Structure 1
Amino acid sequence: MRIGELSRETGASPRAIRYYEQIGLLRSERRANGYREFDDNAIQTVTTIRTLFDLGFPSELVSRVLPCTGEAGPIAGDCGALMQRVAEIRDEMDTKARRLDATRDQLTQFLATSSQP
């Protein structure tokens, strides 16, 4: 598929897709006319990349995590230690989310009691 189709399928801009390719997270083949051609797995790869970036992962960590994802499981090296780090990041996010929930609840209670005559 060409970059425009991959963009439509994933919601990633063509510019973002070119960036992912530039930093080595995504691969394409070049046609004789110079157009990029992506395989069907590119949809899942771009979706995973976007998710990891949305979670705040730096590109260096995304490049290390990406080979450990996918339907076939790990495709490069030992992913155990890396997945342990990802689990730690997830746990840190859970802790932050709980703190935010508690703060929101306190603010809601404050607003409720402040608005009473």
Structure 2
Amino acid sequence: MRIGELARRTGVSERSLRYYEEQGLLHPERTAGGHREFPSTAVETVVRIQELFAAGLCSAKIVQFLPCMGEEGRKRATPLLVEDLLVERERINRMIKDLARSRDVLDQVITEARDTVGDPS
């Protein structure tokens, strides 16, 4: 499929898809006319890339992790990769705790603000 089709099927801009290619995350073939041709598996790959970006991983880490995802990829995992994944997981856990703490503070501010709304003093 061409880049426009992949963009439509994934909801990711063509510009982002070109960036993914530049970063080594996608590997399209080129037609004789120079157009990118992506395999049908690229849809799932782009979804995974988006998930990993959403988790806060940078493209350099995603390049390392992506080949080890999925059924075939699990066979490529190394002890160092597993350690890197555990580090990323711990980072995400810290982010979740920080966000929960921020939400609790916001909830407290909302409660206090509601108590004073309509109170002229």
Gaps of 5+ in 1: none
For the residues of structure 2 that align with 1:113 and 1:51, how far apart are their CA atoms? 39
Q: For residue 94 of structure 2, what is the amino acid of its counterpart?
A: E
For the residues of structure 1 that align with 2:86 and 2:39, how far apart are their CA atoms? 30
1:99 is matched with 101
Alignment of 1:31-46 (within 5 A): 31-46=31-46
Gaps of 5+ in 2: none
Alignment of 1:15-30 (within 5 A): 15-30=15-30
Task: Give the superposition deviation at 1:99.
Answer: 0.8
Query: Which has more helix, going by share of residues?
Result: 2
Alpha-carbon contact 2:53-2:59 (below 8 Å) kept: yes
Runs of 4 or more above 3 Å deviation: none
Task: Give the superposition deviation at 1:71.
Answer: 4.3
Name the SS for the 1:81 alignment partner. Answer: helix
Q: How many residues align?
A: 117
**Which moves more between the two structures, 60-69 or 37-46?**
60-69
Name the SS for the 1:84 alignment partner. Answer: helix
Larger Rg: 2
Identity of aligned residues (%): 38
Task: Tell me the TM-score normalised to structure 2 length.
Answer: 0.85
Q: For residue 30 of structure 2, what is the amino acid of its counterpart?
A: R
RMSD of Structure 2 on Structure 1 (CA): 1.7
